[in-house]
Amino acid sequence: MTHRFLFFVAILVLASSTARAVDFVTEIEPILRDNCFDCHGPNQQESQLRLDRLANMISGGNSGEPAVVPKNPEASYLLKLIRHEEVGKEMPPDESLSPEQVKLIETWIASGAPTPERYGPAEEQADLSHWAFQPVRRFDADGRVSAAGIDDFILQRLRDEGLSLSSAADHRTLIRRLYLVMHGLPPTPGQVEAFIRDDGDDAWRKLVDDVLVSPHYGQRWATFWLDLVRFGETNGFETNRERPNAWRYRDWVIQSLNEDKPYDQFVREQLAGDALGAPIGTGFLVAGPYDLVKGQDPKLGQMQRMNELDDMINTTGTAFLGLTTGCARCHNHKFDPISQRDYYSMQAVFAGVQHGDRALPPSPETKQQIATLDAEIAELTDRLKKFIVEDASKTRPPVSARQNEEVCEKREVRFIRFTIQKTTGGEGCIDELEVYAEGRNVALASSGAKATSSGDFVHPKHKLLHINDGRHGNDRSWIVDSAKGGWVQIELAEPTVIDRVVWGRDRNGQYADRLPIEYRIESAVEAGQWELLASSADRKPFSGGKPSEPEYQFTKFPDAEAMQGETWLKRLQTARDAKKEHEKSRVVVYAGKFSQPGPTHRLYRGEPDAKREQVPPNAIDVFTSLNLSPNAAERERRLALANWIASNDNPFTARVIVNRLWQLHFGTGIVDTPSDFGLNGAPPSHPELLDWLAGELMEHDWSLKHIHRLILNSDTWRQSNRPNADAMRVDAASRLLWRFPPRRLEAEAIRDSVLAVTGVLDLQNAGGPGFSPFEVQMENVRHYHAKKTYGPADWRRMIYMTKVRQEREQVFGAFDCPDASMVVPRRSRSTTPLQALNLLNSQFVMQQADLFAKRLQADSETIPQRITRAWQLCFQRPPTDEELADSKDFIKQEGIGQFTRAILNANEFVFIP
């Protein structure tokens, strides 16, 4: 909200409040020109049109603060500014309105802020004419609604520019391109030859289907999704501690892609999978960085929490909607119709989400196994009842952590000693030892009684003086200094006839540890002449609130019956052990913890302590309403948002994901700002094609593999990458796709391809905890040092490498690997000396070059055969005569090891053709 806008409002108010009609053009506009606006600025006309509306006065400017709240002057931001109550935002900036003018504005607002009709209504419909805000529509290349195809749209645009598609690529290029794009791995020589020999009309379609059903597809394409959702396996920030259970989300993404899970369901499960039977999916919500260190300053803690929620809001907006929702945290969005109120309504959706591990409910199979074991345990327990020995001496209930009463015949005592023989664990603790005589506690220090002990555990909370201070609870308790045999003693003020002793671990019921479960209480009139007053001997065994295990006796039964009973008891114990194992095997995943949140408020300037009105959980108001109450259940909030995002009526979701697929196939999306479809984003190069693909996705059950098939089977995708001078002059970047745009592979595909051609890539060890590229120094603040040696454990696909925030793997990290602390919709493509040095001289590549040499020597007998084998493995083609001759000369001079090192550094090896 600008000073000029608010001063304009003030002048407008004065004009509309006078007795006579004020002409805006002749009287108000000159004042604005002379006092507020730079009328020669490029945005003058835009500013006047925008501000000359009542709706803008009421909704406020970019700050999100309503300038005018009719009938509520004190809530009107305008008054604060013209009273000069906002430092640095005074209105007007160089002078003050008179008290009479301020009072007049206040009176006007209190009366309902009436304005002339030409200033429009108090509320206006947002302008949703932007292409991405419109519903998805299906067009053909001529603008008619029909079932066109990809090539129709591409050819129409090429013709408009005087261009055409290139000829089809040869078979070897196509299969290499297909495997590198879809799997991130080169095809084997056998796969290449099989495709070349297949002269059937459907050979290509069959190959595409084979590629899509391979598990390598999900492993490849999950990499890009994990970039997009800022997935990492450490927390980041100063300590950068590991998240040992985060990998399950990575595996869930891979599995979802391989299963071709409908994309709308994929979206829902990441926002509310705990409500949809896919609890691992919510790993999306907490995939980002998390500051583990919480400071003493409450405001800092509030800001940390705001940042956590901002991460969830921004990632949800950019990943699924292609909208920069995070830009509305401190003010209304500068470009898109997203208000600050919308932002905090989305914050209310996620307000109950906390970072952390969560134990997942048992699987249906595990539930069934536990139910079967429960039935067996119940049956065996019933059969064994006749073998139970009843101990008549155990008449009293087990010890209680809250309170225990020891009743005795009346006797005269001066000393009471409580000896602890066994506890539930650790040194015994008692919060109060009470001795009663005719209903009065005579053990109180205030009554003259004195406490002594065999020794006290040193702790600021637990002291001997607490044992008889008349106060209960853990904070007023005493702990003995030994786990067994220690005692506490009360000496009464005088010999007294007593009838009971009362004691407990924690009368408030918050703690049950260190509970004495075997003890004896003795009394004496003269010191040292002890007599037993009470003990735990007649209490039933302590079982922590669970039924105690009965004692079985088989000797008094006939041999056959006794043997049967012993067999049942063994089976019972086996069943119980099996049940414990099943219960212990519950899966834990870093997928967030959920709790019912409190109220959410809009925050002025995003400051945690500058709360404004409370907001309900909601999405972006101009597009939808979730119709939730402010106190809606936590899970209901996320599910409602998920259902809107994944709806066929949502104009963004389908467009955004098909654009991402297009980008990953061709290097650039139809919209080349893939996470910003708003007014500040780039327009689509082929808008009708984008909508056609989005429609295809939704009409085919949101199948991503269906979109892949459409793209892969198009002539556009299968054309040659050869340059053309005339076309280059028109479209040097190949944006219009007159050829297939070649590009370098990503870091993961380069590393995986090296391992594949050397023959050591471990494709069987897929999923599970990742392998680390670092030697980790396990201090409070983790230190990550590059590995010096590599072995088979490191030869898995790179997607299974533990993603450490703020660190890059020393060899392939240089190839534009993104930091997992940030959302990355599109990786940068740099060319640096470090990349060349790493690929040529690193320990990893030199080791792989040696392994490659050994493979070639094992596979082939002669030098020409080895060269040909290397070309087939690395480039999917035989060498030319010139390449063969040069390679023979090189090997003769430098050896086979240097040859393999050189070939792994070839441009052809690391490029998608």
**Residues 70-91: tens digit of each pLDDT:** 878 788 777 777 778 777 777 6
Q: How confident is the model over 251-264, as a mean pLDDT?
A: 98
CA distances from 899 to 489, 551, 813 (A): 87, 77, 25
CA distance 284 to 901: 40
Q: Is the alpha carbon torsion for 350, 351, 357, 360 positive or negative?
A: negative
Interacting residues of 49 by C-beta distance below 8 A, sequence separation 6+: none
Q: What tens digit of pLDDT does each residue of 423-452 get?
A: 999 999 999 999 999 999 999 999 999 999
Q: Is the alpha carbon torsion for 901, 906, 910, 913 positive or negative?
A: negative
Q: Which helix (H) or strand (E) holds 408?
A: strand 404-423
Q: What tens digit of pLDDT does each residue of 806-829 get?
A: 999 999 999 999 998 899 999 999
Q: 121: buried, middle or exposed (CB in 10 Å: 19+, 13-18, 0-12)?
A: exposed
Which pLDDT score, from 0 to 100, does residue 86 have? Answer: 74
CA distance 15 to 48: 16
Which pLDDT score, from 0 to 100, does residue 47 have? Answer: 32
Q: What tens digit of pLDDT does each residue of 354-393 get?
A: 999 999 888 888 889 999 999 999 999 999 988 988 766 6
Whether 18 has a pLDDT exceeding 60, the answer reads: no
Which pLDDT score, from 0 to 100, does residue 139 have? Answer: 62
Task: Please tell me what DSSP assigns to residue 113.
Answer: -
Confidence grade of residue 586 (pLDDT, cut at 50, 70, 90): confident
Confidence grade of residue 542 (pLDDT, cut at 50, 70, 90): confident
CA distance 423 to 519: 9
Q: 239: buried, middle or exposed (CB in 10 Å: 19+, 13-18, 0-12)?
A: middle
CA distance 32 to 40: 13
Q: How confident is the model over 514-523, as a mean pLDDT?
A: 95
Which pLDDT score, from 0 to 100, does residue 897 have? Answer: 95
Strands (E), 686-810: 743-744, 774-777, 783-786
Confidence grade of residue 36 (pLDDT, cut at 50, 70, 90): very low
C-alpha dihedral (343, 344, 350, 353), degrees to nearest 10? 130
The 3-state DSSP class for residue 436 equals strand
Which pLDDT score, from 0 to 100, does residue 65 have? Answer: 76
Q: What tens digit of pLDDT does each residue of 144-178 get?
A: 555 579 999 999 999 999 999 999 999 999 999 99
CA distance 637 to 618: 8
Which pLDDT score, from 0 to 100, does residue 392 have? Answer: 65
Whether 97 has a pLDDT exceeding 50, the answer reads: yes
Whole-model pTM: value is: 0.77
Q: How confident is the model over 521-525, as a mean pLDDT?
A: 96
The amino acid present at 497, given as its one-letter code, is: V
CA distance 815 to 295: 37
C-alpha dihedral (488, 490, 491, 492), degrees to nearest 10? -170
Whether 744 has a pLDDT exceeding 90, the answer reads: yes
Whether 670 has a pLDDT exceeding 70, the answer reads: yes
CA distance 183 to 799: 12
Q: Which helix (H) or strand (E) holds 867?
A: helix 863-875
Which pLDDT score, from 0 to 100, does residue 518 have? Answer: 93
Q: How confident is the model over 746-769, as a mean pLDDT?
A: 96
CA distances from 526 to 421, 433, 486 (A): 24, 20, 21
Whether 545 has a pLDDT exceeding 90, the answer reads: no
Whether 641 has a pLDDT exceeding 80, the answer reads: yes
Which pLDDT score, from 0 to 100, does residue 353 have? Answer: 97
Mean pLDDT of the chain: 89
Which pLDDT score, from 0 to 100, does residue 106 have? Answer: 72
The amino acid present at 845, given as its one-letter code, is: V
Which pLDDT score, from 0 to 100, does residue 90 have? Answer: 73
The amino acid present at 305, given as its one-letter code, is: R
Q: Is the alpha carbon torsion for 652, 655, 657, 663 positive or negative?
A: negative
Confidence grade of residue 21 (pLDDT, cut at 50, 70, 90): very low
**Residue pair 910/874 in contact by the 8 Å Cβ criterion:** no
Which pLDDT score, from 0 to 100, does residue 31 have? Answer: 34
CA distance 68 to 71: 9
**Who wins on pLDDT, 487 or 117?**
487
Tokens of 446: 């205030």
CA distance 282 to 303: 23
Confidence grade of residue 62 (pLDDT, cut at 50, 70, 90): low
Which pLDDT score, from 0 to 100, does residue 812 have? Answer: 94
Which pLDDT score, from 0 to 100, does residue 143 have? Answer: 57
Whether 467 has a pLDDT exceeding 90, the answer reads: yes
Q: How confident is the model over 498-515, as a mean pLDDT?
A: 94
Confidence grade of residue 63 (pLDDT, cut at 50, 70, 90): low
Q: Is the alpha carbon torsion for 862, 864, 865, 866 positive or negative?
A: positive
Which pLDDT score, from 0 to 100, does residue 625 have? Answer: 95
The CB-side HSE value for 515 (13 A sphere, CA atoms) comes to 24
**Who wins on pLDDT, 56 or 605?**
605
Whether 16 has a pLDDT exceeding 50, the answer reads: no
Whether 26 has a pLDDT exceeding 50, the answer reads: no
Which pLDDT score, from 0 to 100, does residue 142 have? Answer: 60
The amino acid present at 3, given as its one-letter code, is: H
CA distance 164 to 720: 12
**Residue pair 650/620 in contact by the 8 Å Cβ criterion:** no
The 3-state DSSP class for residue 27 equals helix
